[in-house]
Amino acid sequence: MSTSPKGQLLTRTLAMPSDCNANGDIFGGWIMSQLDLAGGILAKEISHGRIVTVSVSSITFKKPVSVGDVVCVYGECSRIGNTSMNIDLEVWVKPVRDHGVEERFMVCDATFNYVAIDEAGRPRPIQK
Protein backbone atom coordinates (compact mmCIF):
# COMPACT_ATOMS: atom_id res chain seq x y z
CA MET A 1 0.00 0.00 0.00
CA SER A 2 1.66 3.27 -1.10
CA THR A 3 1.90 6.01 1.48
CA SER A 4 2.39 8.96 -0.88
CA PRO A 5 0.98 9.89 -4.30
CA LYS A 6 2.93 9.32 -7.52
CA GLY A 7 3.37 12.36 -9.76
CA GLN A 8 2.19 15.95 -9.49
CA LEU A 9 -1.08 17.27 -8.09
CA LEU A 10 -3.30 17.98 -11.11
CA THR A 11 -6.74 18.68 -9.63
CA ARG A 12 -8.37 19.04 -6.21
CA THR A 13 -12.11 19.15 -5.62
CA LEU A 14 -14.86 18.35 -3.13
CA ALA A 15 -17.16 15.29 -3.44
CA MET A 16 -20.74 16.59 -3.29
CA PRO A 17 -24.11 14.89 -2.54
CA SER A 18 -25.12 15.25 -6.22
CA ASP A 19 -22.14 13.00 -7.16
CA CYS A 20 -23.50 9.96 -5.25
CA ASN A 21 -24.62 6.54 -6.47
CA ALA A 22 -27.61 4.62 -5.11
CA ASN A 23 -25.52 3.33 -2.17
CA GLY A 24 -24.76 6.85 -0.99
CA ASP A 25 -21.08 6.61 -2.00
CA ILE A 26 -19.53 8.73 -4.74
CA PHE A 27 -20.40 7.47 -8.25
CA GLY A 28 -17.53 5.77 -10.15
CA GLY A 29 -18.42 7.71 -13.30
CA TRP A 30 -17.81 10.98 -11.47
CA ILE A 31 -14.37 9.74 -10.39
CA MET A 32 -13.60 8.73 -14.01
CA SER A 33 -14.55 12.21 -15.12
CA GLN A 34 -12.14 13.73 -12.56
CA LEU A 35 -9.40 11.40 -13.85
CA ASP A 36 -10.05 12.39 -17.46
CA LEU A 37 -9.97 16.10 -16.61
CA ALA A 38 -6.73 15.74 -14.65
CA GLY A 39 -5.00 13.57 -17.25
CA GLY A 40 -6.16 15.93 -19.99
CA ILE A 41 -4.56 18.91 -18.22
CA LEU A 42 -1.19 17.14 -18.09
CA ALA A 43 -1.47 15.89 -21.70
CA LYS A 44 -2.30 19.43 -22.87
CA GLU A 45 0.71 20.85 -21.02
CA ILE A 46 3.07 18.17 -22.40
CA SER A 47 1.89 18.50 -26.01
CA HIS A 48 1.38 22.30 -25.92
CA GLY A 49 -2.05 22.20 -27.53
CA ARG A 50 -5.29 20.37 -28.20
CA ILE A 51 -5.68 16.75 -27.10
CA VAL A 52 -8.36 14.06 -27.05
CA THR A 53 -8.79 11.03 -24.84
CA VAL A 54 -8.30 7.94 -27.01
CA SER A 55 -8.55 5.09 -24.46
CA VAL A 56 -8.33 3.96 -20.86
CA SER A 57 -5.84 1.11 -20.37
CA SER A 58 -6.73 0.35 -16.77
CA ILE A 59 -8.77 1.62 -13.85
CA THR A 60 -9.12 0.16 -10.36
CA PHE A 61 -11.39 1.48 -7.64
CA LYS A 62 -9.76 0.48 -4.35
CA LYS A 63 -11.93 2.19 -1.73
CA PRO A 64 -15.24 4.10 -1.71
CA VAL A 65 -15.28 7.91 -1.64
CA SER A 66 -17.69 9.73 0.69
CA VAL A 67 -19.53 13.03 0.40
CA GLY A 68 -17.37 15.83 1.80
CA ASP A 69 -14.07 14.11 1.00
CA VAL A 70 -11.40 16.27 -0.63
CA VAL A 71 -10.57 14.39 -3.86
CA CYS A 72 -7.07 14.95 -5.27
CA VAL A 73 -5.86 13.58 -8.61
CA TYR A 74 -2.10 13.11 -9.08
CA GLY A 75 -0.43 12.03 -12.29
CA GLU A 76 2.66 11.58 -14.36
CA CYS A 77 3.36 10.76 -17.99
CA SER A 78 4.71 7.22 -18.38
CA ARG A 79 5.17 7.30 -22.18
CA ILE A 80 5.26 9.86 -24.97
CA GLY A 81 4.86 8.40 -28.47
CA ASN A 82 4.79 10.19 -31.82
CA THR A 83 1.34 11.72 -31.21
CA SER A 84 0.11 9.88 -28.11
CA MET A 85 0.72 10.01 -24.36
CA ASN A 86 0.05 7.51 -21.55
CA ILE A 87 -0.75 9.21 -18.25
CA ASP A 88 -0.67 7.27 -14.97
CA LEU A 89 -3.16 8.69 -12.51
CA GLU A 90 -3.96 8.20 -8.82
CA VAL A 91 -6.92 9.51 -6.84
CA TRP A 92 -6.24 10.27 -3.19
CA VAL A 93 -8.75 11.31 -0.58
CA LYS A 94 -8.16 13.52 2.42
CA PRO A 95 -11.14 13.05 4.75
CA VAL A 96 -12.01 16.28 6.54
CA ARG A 97 -14.39 15.43 9.38
CA ASP A 98 -15.80 17.48 12.25
CA HIS A 99 -13.03 16.22 14.55
CA GLY A 100 -10.21 17.17 12.18
CA VAL A 101 -8.22 16.07 9.16
CA GLU A 102 -7.45 12.35 8.79
CA GLU A 103 -4.54 10.66 7.01
CA ARG A 104 -4.92 10.68 3.20
CA PHE A 105 -5.30 7.39 1.30
CA MET A 106 -5.46 6.21 -2.32
CA VAL A 107 -8.91 5.27 -3.63
CA CYS A 108 -8.27 4.65 -7.33
CA ASP A 109 -5.52 4.28 -9.91
CA ALA A 110 -5.73 4.33 -13.69
CA THR A 111 -3.90 4.87 -16.96
CA PHE A 112 -5.56 7.21 -19.47
CA ASN A 113 -4.26 7.67 -23.02
CA TYR A 114 -4.41 10.91 -25.01
CA VAL A 115 -3.60 11.95 -28.57
CA ALA A 116 -2.41 15.44 -29.54
CA ILE A 117 -4.55 16.77 -32.39
CA ASP A 118 -4.41 19.66 -34.82
CA GLU A 119 -7.24 22.08 -35.66
CA ALA A 120 -8.81 19.52 -37.98
CA GLY A 121 -8.81 16.84 -35.24
CA ARG A 122 -5.97 14.87 -36.87
CA PRO A 123 -3.11 13.40 -34.79
CA ARG A 124 -0.31 15.96 -34.39
CA PRO A 125 3.35 15.11 -33.58
CA ILE A 126 4.46 15.97 -30.05
CA GLN A 127 7.68 18.01 -29.82
CA LYS A 128 9.95 16.28 -27.28
Give the footprint of ligand COA on this chain (CB under 6 A).
52-55, 81-84, 113, 115, 117, 121, 123
Nearest CB to ligand COA, comparing residues 41 and 54: 54
Task: Quote the least distance from Cβ 127 to ligand COA, whole Å.
Answer: 13
Q: What is the 8-class DSSP label of residue 7?
A: S
12 within 8 A of 71, measured Cβ to Cβ: yes
Q: How far is the CB of 94 from ligand COA (least distance, A)?
A: 28
Q: Residue 33 phi/psi, 5° resolution?
A: -65, -40
Nearer to ligand COA, 22 or 120 (CB): 120
Considering beta carbons, is residue 2 or 57 the nearer one to ligand COA? 57
**Cα separation, 8 vs 92, whole angstroms:** 12
Closest alpha carbon to 51 in 8, 31, 81: 81
CB of 86 to ligand COA, least distance (A): 8
